[in-house]
Homo-oligomer: A and B are copies of this chain.
Amino acid sequence: MNTADQTNPLIERLEKFGPLSNQDLTLLHEIPTERRFIGPGSHLMREDDVICDCAIITSGFAVGLKKTIEGRRQIVSLLMPGEAYGLHSLFSNTADLTVQAVRPSIFVMIPDRALQNAMALSPAISRAAFANIAAESAISREWLVNIGRRDARGRIAHFLAEFLIRSERQGLTKGFSFELPLTQDQIGDILSLTPVHVNRTFGALQSDGLIKRDGRYFDILNWNGLLDAGGFTERYLSVS
């Protein structure tokens, strides 16, 4: 792999969090990576698996989830194209959550050792990786507020707002129309609601004129209304 490669997902990701020097880029280009294709419903890794890679999803869509002993499932993170997974377990040897593809997805696997090494050699790389988990962390905390303190209507409104903004950031959407590539069951697992109630709440938001939905295709008809319903403020998504 040489420096002339047009795109390197790891570099693209890290550059979102701060500038990298040519030397940094060289270091990162030298990291050997492996592509993995994961079909919908399949797992990139499971909780407690021994792992020694982190990953960047370059296309598709995936979620990070945890299960209780009783088998209840909670989705704790979204993985949108371009985003990284597993930086938080860079210094651990077991996965703390299951990564499941929702859409056919491509992951670029990055050996922990190699990234650790690059981080040790370059403060800028280290800093960018640091900022990346900090950003993830901020989202988890906001989800805690969303699940903990909002009713179904608020949760869904908040989630839709977050999803749209994150999609835009990754260059996946423009405007207020988008596809949400999740079943209502999965949305329930994100927001801690039953699929039945997710469905009814979509109905309520629609009849209130906030959204229009056709299957998994959404139109936000009243953005401010949606923000309001979800008590959404973009701040926690601001990164750098």
Binding site for B on A (CB under 8 A): 17-18, 48, 66, 68-70, 72-74, 76-77, 87-92, 94, 96-97, 116, 119-121, 123, 126-127, 129-131, 133-134, 136-138, 140-145, 147-150, 192, 231, 233, 235-236, 238, 240
Query: How far apart sit A208 and B207, CA to CA, in the bound complex (Å)?
Result: 46
Q: Is the CB of A129 within 8 A of B127?
A: no
- Closest residue of B by beta carbon distance from A134: B88
Q: How many copies does the complex hold?
A: 2
Query: How far apart sit A17 and B88, CA to CA, in the bound complex (Å)?
Result: 13
| Chain B proximity of A189: nearest CB distance (Å) | 8
Complex interface: chain B residues within 8 A of A231 (CB) = 68-70
| A interface: dominant SS | helix
Pick from B69, B70, B149: contact of A233, CB below 8 A: B69
Pick from B68, B133, B140: contact of A149, CB below 8 A: B68
| Chain B proximity of A99: nearest CB distance (Å) | 13
Q: Is the CB of B137 within 8 A of A127?
A: no
Query: How far apart sit A123 and B76, CA to CA, in the bound complex (Å)?
Result: 30
* A17, A88, A120, A129: residue with the most chain B Cβ atoms closer than 10 Å: A88
Q: Is the CB of B127 within 8 A of A91?
A: yes
Q: Is the CB of A66 within 8 A of B96?
A: no
| Chain B proximity of A186: nearest CB distance (Å) | 13
Complex interface: chain B residues within 8 A of A240 (CB) = 91-92
